[in-house]
Amino acid sequence: MNVTEANAEGLRRKLKVVIGAEELERRLSARLDELKERARLKGFRPGRVPKEHLRKVYGRSVMAEVVQQAVAETSREAISQRDERPAFQPTVALPEDEAEIDKIFSGASDLAYTLSFEVMPKIETMDFGKIALEKPVAALTDEDIDKALDRIRAANLRYKPKEGKAEKGDRLIIDFVGKIDGEAFPGGSTEDAPILLGSGNFIPGFEEGLMGAKSHEEREVEATFPANYQEAGLAGKTARFEVKVKEVASPETPPLDEEFAKGLGVESVDALRDTVKKRLEQDRAGASRLKLKRALLDALNEGHTFELPPTLVDNEFQAIWHQVTGDLDRTKRSFAD
């Protein structure tokens, strides 16, 4: 095997590797000797098939196998001889000319191929002792705990039935049947469905059509499915819904008492405060660690300068871009949205 460097620009490398015809013949002969022991050909006893006959019958296919194995072994050896670490799997370029390939397979020519790859940069590390970092700390107060408890109460509203008209923020329990052009459509009907007015969880026009409704009232509501609705058969179509309002209930913030605490799975208000305190401490410790880590990474970034393997950068970008476009496809959205 003979290896010469054809290109060494930046982190890019291209090697020319030549495997002599004599080496290929030696490998082919050894492989035919192995096959001779197992070959079963008409007119010959097992293990007695002449090697030249095997060469005539299987020579080209065996040589293709020999070439593949020789390229795999010599490419690894060529790279291992260099004081470099490839950044990704090297690319092998074999001869494409049919006449040249025939010469190689017939043993009349050497095998020459190119090996292209990029190497990881050599990084001279900075003096880490010069990095000075300050860990941010945020003290926890009783007021912080009280605010957290208020947020928990606001997230666990209770709804009390009322007799008046439904307003934004009220919860309705409804039955409805949806129709398009007078015909009911699959998935357009349900019973005892909760709907929070103003939440925007239903298609445009549906919640608005129920504003001012009262318990036991029946209404007809018109709403239009979005153009990018996940069910293509309904996208952009206008439907009329026959709605029966079973209940209108207004939200109430629950008091901070034992009943509320037990509803969240803790024994008492004191136990709830202690749980919230520990969670806030964990959150702040985590935020502090992330800030410290970011400051460290910034310091390391400022203290080091090195070239990046272009293909690694391209591969990373393509992975991120694939994720971005995949998310857009799944949500049926565009960059304009």
* Domain positions in the chain: 2-118, 160-252
Q: How far is CA 185 from the centre of its chain?
A: 36
Stated pTM of the model = 0.56
CATH of domain 2-118: 3.30.70.1050
pLDDT at 176: 97
Torsion from C-alpha of 68, 73, 75, 80, nearest 10 degrees: 170
Residue 287, φ and ψ in degrees, nearest 5: -65, -40
Fold (CATH) for 160-252: Chitinase A; domain 3 (3.10.50)
pLDDT at 86: 94
Question: Which positions ≥6 away from 16 have C-beta within 8 Å?
Answer: 3, 4, 5, 6, 112, 113, 114, 115
Instruction: Write the pLDDT tens digit of every residue in 30-89.
Output: 888 877 777 667 667 666 677 777 788 778 888 899 999 999 999 999 999 998 999 989
Beta strand ranges found along the chain (DSSP E): 2-9, 12-19, 91-93, 111-118, 158-161, 171-180, 183-196, 218-224, 238-252
Amino acid symbol at 37: E
CA dist., res. 73 & res. 135, Å (int): 52
Q: How many Cα atoms sit within 13 Å of 170 on the Cβ side? A: 25
Number of helices and strands in the chain (H, E): 7, 9
pLDDT tens string 155-193: 999 999 999 999 999 999 999 999 999 999 998 999 999
Burial code of 101-124, b = ≥16 C-beta within 10 A, e = fewer? bebbbeeebebebbbebbbbbeee
pLDDT tens per residue, range 229-243: 888 889 999 999 999
DSSP at 307: P
> What burial letters (b/e) apply to 203-221, b meaning 16+ CB within 10 Å?
beebbebbeebebebebeb
Residue 98, both tokens: 């049919």
| Distance from C-alpha of 182 to C-alpha of 240, rounded to nearest angstrom | 8
**Number of C-beta neighbours around residue 56 at 10 A:** 10
Tell me: pLDDT of 113 over 80.
Answer: yes
